Chain A
Amino acid sequence: SAVISQKPSRDICQRGTSLTIQCQVDSQVTMMFWYRQQPGQSLTLIATANQGSEATYESGFVIDKFPISRPNLTFSTLTVSNMSPEDSSIYLCSVEEDPGNTIYFGEGSWLTVV
C-alpha cells in the first residue's frame, strides 16, 4: 500500500494569510485527491490533482481559494488562500494507485485559523 506523508501536520494561522500543504507519496500513483474535514463533519472532496494540468474542482471549491499543484506522480500541494476561521479544518491528501482500487489517506493537516 502507498505511504503518504503530509506537511505540516498542524498549524495555527492568522486570518488573511495563506498556507501550503504538501503531500508526498512513496510510489507513483495515478490519482491524487484533496479532501476537507470540517469539525464534526465527514470528508468532502475539494479537487482531483491532475499531473501536468489544472486540478478538477468540485462544486463549491474554486482555484483562487484552493490552488493545487501536481508536478509529478508522487507529489502535490494544496494552498488555502486568504484564510478565515471557517477554513479551520483537517485537510487530507489521498491517493488511488489504480482506478477503482483502494484509496489511501495521509495523516491529515490540522489547520486552525485565528
Chain B
Amino acid sequence: KQEVTQIPAALSVPEGENLVLNCSFTDSAIYNLQWFRQDPGKGLTSLLLIQSSQREQTSGRLNASLDKSSGRSTLYIAASQPGDSATYLCAVGGGGSNYKLTFGKGTLLTVNP
C-alpha cells in the first residue's frame, strides 16, 4: 500500500525567503506525482504535475523535482510571498490501470509580511 509523507507538517517563514517542502513515498512504481495547493475553505488547485519519466517541472516561482528511485519529491518556492500561505499537498499517482492518487497530509505554510 502506497504511503505518502510530507515534512514539515507546518512551516512559518518571513516574506522573501526561499523554501523547500518535502514529500516521500514508499512505492516507487508510480505514474506521476502532483503538487496541490489548498486554501482554507477551498478545494485543491493543481500546481505542478511530474510524470514518472521526468525529473522536474517548473512554473513561475515554483520548481518541483522527482527522484523516483529514492521515493522523494521536493517543491521549491522562490522569493515567498504572503499570498503563498496555504496548505501544500503532495499526491502520487499509482501504477497499473489504477491512476488514483494517494495524498500526503500536507504542509501548512505561513509567509509572514
Contacts and interface: CB of A to CB of B under 8 A. Distances in A.
Contacts of B36: 105
Nearest to B46: A102
Nearest to A48: B100
Contact size range, A: 20 to 34
Contact of A31 (B43, B44, B45, B99): B99
B49 A102 contact: yes
Contact size range, B: 20 to 34
Contacts of A107: 42-43
A87 B105 CA distance: 19
A110 B100 CA distance: 22
A95 to B, nearest CB: 11
A43 B106 CA distance: 10
A97 B73 CA distance: 24
B103 A92 contact: no
Contacts of B103: 42-44
B32 A100 contact: yes
Contacts of A106: 43
B106 A42 contact: yes
B8 to A, nearest CB: 15
A100 B43 contact: no
Interface string A75-112: 00000000000000000101010011111111110100
B100 A100 contact: no
B25 interface: no
B71 interface: no
Interface of A: 1, 6, 31, 33, 41-45, 48, 58, 92, 94, 96, 99-108, 110
